[in-house]
Amino acid sequence: MKKEYDILVIGSGLGGLVSALILAKEGCKVCVLEKNNQYGGNLQTFSRDKLIFDTGVHYLGGLSKGQNLHHFFSYLEIINDLDLKRMDVNQYDKISFGDDVVEYPHAQGYDNFVDQLSVYFPDERENLQNYCKEIQRICNYFPRYNVIGQDQYNEEILHLNTKRFIESITSDETLQAVLLGSNFLYGGDSENTPFYVHALTVNSYIQSAYKCLKGGSQISRLLIKKLREYGADVYKHSEVNEFVFNDNNSLTTVRTKEGKEYFARQFISNIEIRSTVKLIGENRLKKSFYNRILSWEPVTSCFSVYLVLKEHSFHHFNHNSYHFSSKNLVWKACEYSEENWPETYMLSCTPSNRQPEFAESLTAISYMNFDEVRAWQNTFNTIADEHERGEAYEKFKLEKAEKMIDALAQKIPDLRNYIKKIYTSSPLSYRDYIGSFDGNMYGYAKTSENPLKTMVSPKTKIDNLFLTGQSINMHGILGCTIGAFNTCAEILGKNLIDERLSKFQETHES
């Protein structure tokens, strides 16, 4: 007896899980299929030496009461079960350059953000205030950024360029670099990146910044728990490799590699958009749309070094550090020379469970182009063991890890004495475990020159197939969550989604 669903979601990244839960809460019979051993896409974590390491989620923004992500997570019924720690209010991020000993703070709260940076730039207070006002203005133009209201993009805003805007705010080159210092959060080529990408990303963290103490995977675990409470089916090891259509060009069935068939009235694809297009088939799509998708440039990937520390050796710090070998690098941070790698990095810290004043691990991340690992592109891992790629790959990773530690040791001179174990991940890891094209971190690069090129409607030309996830519009925890609500608005109607969120806001957050 075949099992049929109202909604079948392909992929269990954040966008897919949130979409599934929104629809399950409306009484839909929902199924989620995930190809890997772990749910969650970029929310995945892995364990080494009994410690948890994040692959993608290092901190969250907008989670204080009354803020947008708090509202969305409250509606999804997971906010109260998240194990969170608020980061340093006066410096949740610290930005540094070259040999300069000064570390410039990004602070939580817009007034505080201005106050803390004004210590270093006393003549720039008014310019900093204008910067903060403009970020908030830009965010207000985006659909559902403020939970309810604003249902269309302002195209003029989309064309605003990050570099030109920052230069219009201040002529101080150091302050320009400081304001751009966390562009690792969107993989920005700031000379081409639209300012809305910068604004939407940093606004949440300035509102509030939190660490997930049990790793980002707790978000996916809580969403899946809620899905099952609402009667949804969720399956791992279920890679969809075929779409079946009827004579009316509607999708009726998906088949997995294992030969199982799943039937549904409507489908949501949360997998890489190129993979979705391949499953649909070129003949069912407009050639112009097909070519547009293939012409998108992926955001660069990264190489991560995970350091397990000796007990009681290194004091925990409650912020992230972004370091650049020079101020000029912030404009094109993802460009680097292999000889001088890493020219920039993000460093985060995890407190010990037993003695939280000490750190149990450090994670350092730097940009890496997929071309550096292309020699091994035909090798694939689905289980956390990459030794099968051979000695050359292991040597490559070890050399990169040593270079990263050398760079970190310029800021932490005794670092090598604190290290117990070293682990790494490369662009191949992101490709294999996250499913992103060429291991990209944040979907596809957006440009202020042609911002609509990489914007795709959640509703496809296949009348019962919808899209969600970081390949569609914005990336990140907030971006994918908002995207999921917008996808569900296409299925359930915008008015119904607005009504649900408004009623929830009135009853729970008044």
Let me know if 270 is exposed, middle or buried by CB neighbors in 10 A (0-12, 13-18, 19+). Answer: buried
Place of tokens 């969305």: 72
Could you give the percent of the chain with pLDDT greater than 90? 75
The answer to whether 383 and 397 are in contact (CB under 8 A) is: no
pLDDT at 325: 94
Domains in the chain: boundaries: 4-40+62-77+216-296+452-508, 114-204
- Arithmetic mean of pLDDT, 92-105: 96
pLDDT at 1 over 60: no
pLDDT at 493 over 90: yes
pLDDT digits (tens, 9 = 90+) for 445-490: 899 898 888 888 999 999 999 999 988 878 899 999 999 999 999 9
pLDDT at 326 over 50: yes
- Residue 405: which of 395, 419, 391 has the closest Cα? 419
> Which parts of 3-140 fold into alpha helices (H)?
14-25, 68-75, 110-118, 125-140
pLDDT at 385 over 90: no
Least confident of 51-60, 121-130, 149-158, 218-227: 149-158
pLDDT at 49 over 60: yes
- Arithmetic mean of pLDDT, 423-434: 91
Residue 91's Cα: distance from chain center in Å? 21
Domain 4-40+62-77+216-296+452-508 has CATH 1.20.1580.10: no
pLDDT at 505 over 80: no
Q: How many CB atoms lie within 10 A of CB 275?
A: 18
Place of tokens 């919808």: 466
pLDDT at 503: 86
The answer to whether 398 and 283 are in contact (CB under 8 A) is: no
**Mean pLDDT, the chain, integer:** 92
The domain made up of 114-204 has a fold known as Guanine Nucleotide Dissociation Inhibitor; domain 1 (1.10.405)
pLDDT at 507 over 60: yes
pLDDT at 65: 93
Three-state secondary-structure class, residue 233: strand
Within 8 A by CB and 6+ apart from 368, the residues are: 300, 301, 302, 303, 341, 400, 426, 427
- Arithmetic mean of pLDDT, 282-298: 91
Place of tokens 């070890």: 398
pLDDT at 44 over 80: yes
pLDDT at 19: 98
pLDDT at 70 over 80: yes
pTM above 0.85, yes or no: yes
- Arithmetic mean of pLDDT, 81-86: 94
| Spatial distance between the Cα atoms of 457 and 491, rounded to a whole number of angstroms | 12
Confidence band, pLDDT 50/70/90 cuts, at residue 150: low
Which residue would you say has higher pLDDT here, 313 or 147? 313
Residue 271 to residues 401, 433, 441, Cα–Cα distance (Å): 30, 12, 14
pLDDT at 120: 98
| Spatial distance between the Cα atoms of 205 and 444, rounded to a whole number of angstroms | 22
pLDDT at 363: 95
The two tokens of residue 365 are 């991340």
pLDDT at 101 over 50: yes
Confidence band, pLDDT 50/70/90 cuts, at residue 424: very high
- Residue 171: which of 179, 181, 161, 160 has the closest Cα? 179
| Spatial distance between the Cα atoms of 16 and 483, rounded to a whole number of angstroms | 10
Let me know if 290 is exposed, middle or buried by CB neighbors in 10 A (0-12, 13-18, 19+). Answer: middle
| Spatial distance between the Cα atoms of 380 and 427, rounded to a whole number of angstroms | 12
pLDDT digits (tens, 9 = 90+) for 188-223: 887 889 999 999 999 999 999 999 888 889 999 999
- Residue 342: which of 408, 397, 298, 392 has the closest Cα? 408
Residue 202 to residues 82, 112, 155, Cα–Cα distance (Å): 22, 14, 21
CA torsion sign for 39, 67, 90, 179 is positive
pLDDT at 86 over 70: yes
pLDDT at 47: 81
Least confident of 102-111, 219-228, 494-503: 494-503
pLDDT at 107: 98
pLDDT at 509: 58
